[in-house]
């Protein structure tokens, strides 16, 4: 399928995104469960067992239960999505994901009327994850979205990159991708999805709510307390590359700005 770059009609930009190479995408990762250096995940994630894999879907759903990865995949339609990926550390990539819309998965489980948020949880398996020996943040890694963000057509569960199964260092076998939010919202190696009625705790927000808000929408006008978010460095552009301006909502403003109409984006950062 054609890369859903700007979701068609709503997008004003005619630019085509040039994806980063496989090597860059799979060797420069933040996945602290395997270590804090950028090459630690590529070095240590191979010990992760991803088969069998079960995702518990619970909370306010009609059909709670333990869904096997194969069971989920047999019910979903996988397509390619070429998205910008902007890390809170002010670097960025363009990644050709393969995946399905999160909304399809949530609809499969049947979202009940009172549900307002979706909570996600990463696998915590110390014997396969050398990084969790250290309390870098509180384990397991947890994330959350408002239900309308989760149901947005841009929000996907990625299961592949460049048409291949997603590598372990990128969050195999299944990870969230929310392209208009900082990368840490796109939680990896998901084992649990819960529909809830209250805003769930999120990993980096628990560590420092001043630095990492619940929403974490990419916003060049709201700096991280310790660095500017106005510009970003494109991974792979070399030692002497100029930084480029960061786009509001990471370039997906036309598609998602309405989700936050009337909200103070500095307060709800």
Per CB under 8 A, 17 contacts another protein: no
Of 60-68, 99-107, 120-128, 222-230, the segment contacting another protein by CB under 8 A is 222-230
Per CB under 8 A, 24 contacts another protein: yes
- Provide φ and ψ at 219, rounded to 5°: -150, 110
What distances in angstroms separate CA 202 from CA 96, 121, 124, 130, one per listed residue?
26, 9, 15, 21
The residue within the footprint of another protein, chosen from 38, 56, 125, 146 (CB under 8 A), is 38
Task: Decide if 158 contacts 36 (C-beta within 8 A).
Answer: no
The single residue listed with the structure tokens 């950062």 is 269
The residue within the footprint of another protein, chosen from 4, 6, 20, 81 (CB under 8 A), is 20
Q: How many residues bind another protein (CB under 8 A)?
A: 31
Q: Restricting to residues 82-101, which ones interact with another protein according to CB under 8 A?
A: 89, 91
Per CB under 8 A, 27 contacts another protein: yes
Spatial CA neighbour of 73 closest among 54, 91, 58: 54
CB atoms within 10 A of CB 262: 4
Kindly write out the interface string for residues 109-138 of this chain, putting x where it contacts another protein by CB under 8 A and - elsewhere.
-------------------------xxxx-
Q: Was 231 annotated as part of a binding site? A: no
Peptide linkage before 140 cis (omega within 30 of 0): yes
What distances in angstroms separate CA 62 from CA 78, 107, 110, 190, 195, one per listed residue?
24, 9, 5, 20, 10
Partnered with residue 83 across adjacent β-strands are 95
Per CB under 8 A, 22 contacts another protein: no
Task: Decide if 147 contacts 193 (C-beta within 8 A).
Answer: no
Q: Was 82 annotated as part of a binding site? A: no
Name the binding residues.
29, 32-33, 87, 122, 170, 175, 186-188
Where on the chain is the footprint of another protein (CB under 8 A)?
20, 23-24, 27-28, 32, 36, 38-39, 89, 91, 134-137, 207, 223, 225-228, 230-231, 233, 235-236, 238-240, 242-243
Residue numbers belonging to the annotated binding site for Mo-molybdopterin: 29, 32-33, 87, 122, 170, 175, 186-188
């Amino acid at each position: 399928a054609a890369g859903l770059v700007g979701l068609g009609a709503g997008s004003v930009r005619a630019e085509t995104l040039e994806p980063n190479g496989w090597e860059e995408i799979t060797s420069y990762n933040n996945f602290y469960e395997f270590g804090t250096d950028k090459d630690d995940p590529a070095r240590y994630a191979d010990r992760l067992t991803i088969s069998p894999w079960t995702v518990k879907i619970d909370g306010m759903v009609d059909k709670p239960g333990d869904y096997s990865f194969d069971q989920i995949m047999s019910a979903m339609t996988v397509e390619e999505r070429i998205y910008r990926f902007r890390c809170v550390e002010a670097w960025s990539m363009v990644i050709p994901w393969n995946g399905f819309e999160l909304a399809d998965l949530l609809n499969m489980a049947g979202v009940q009327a009172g549900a307002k948020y979706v909570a996600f949880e990463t696998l915590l398996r110390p014997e396969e994850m050398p990084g969790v020996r250290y309390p870098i943040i509180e384990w397991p890694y947890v994330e959350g979205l408002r239900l309308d963000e989760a149901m947005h057509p841009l929000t996907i569960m990625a299961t592949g990159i460049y048409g291949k199964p997603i590598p372990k260092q990128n969050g195999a076998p299944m990870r969230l991708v929310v392209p208009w939010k900082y990368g840490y919202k796109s939680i990896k190696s998901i084992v649990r999805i819960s529909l809830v009625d209250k805003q769930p705790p999120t990993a980096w927000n628990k560590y420092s709510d001043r630095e990492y808000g619940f929403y974490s929408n990419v916003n060049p006008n709201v700096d991280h307390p310790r660095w500017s978010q106005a510009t970003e460095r494109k991974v792979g552009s070399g030692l002497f590359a100029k930084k480029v301006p960061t786009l509001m909502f990471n370039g997906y403003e036309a598609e998602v700005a309405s989700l936050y109409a009337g909200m103070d984006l500095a307060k709800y950062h």
